[in-house]
Amino acid sequence: MALKRINKELTDLGRDPPSSCSAGPVGDDLFHWQATIMGPGDSPYSGGVFFLSIHFPTDYPFKPPKVNFTTRIYHPNINSNGSICLDILRDQWSPALTISKVLLSICSMLTDPNPDDPLVPEIAHVYKTDRQRYEATAREWTRKYAI
């Protein structure tokens, strides 16, 4: 079941890729993918290319995939291990969701962080109290790690 669904998503991604994102298997292992997200132009991540690893559970799509950033990023909802705080990767997961939709949600999170559900409270605090400093640091990290 999982393999059939993963193959279908791979075909759909090839046919209709989401803008500024790509994803596909690492080698022959269909349960382990690598994805890339281009930093959105209207965000401090603009110009950056961010790599993510995706691990599908054997009971996919009934359980969410594990998605992590492998490129360092300064963001209130993404920690230094690359873990992502996003409801659809946790309790709001639904088998109707696809990797394409997950990547688009992550893209939109780069443009609109959620400082009220942070994984890194310090960054959320800077985001809320000193937006200029937040954006400058995010741009600096993008230049350092994602270009």
Query: Active-site residues: which are they?
Result: 85
Which are the contacts of 127, defined by CB distance < 8 A and separation ≥ 6? 76, 113, 115, 134
Which residues, in sequence order, are bridge partners of residue 75? 78
Residue with the two structure tokens 């009934």: 62
d(CA 82, CA 36): 14
- Dig out the tokens for 114 from the structure: 């959620």
Do residues 56 and 2 lie in contact, with contact meaning Cβ atoms separated by under 8 Å? Answer: yes
Q: Is the peptide bond before 95 cis (omega within 30 degrees of 0)?
A: no
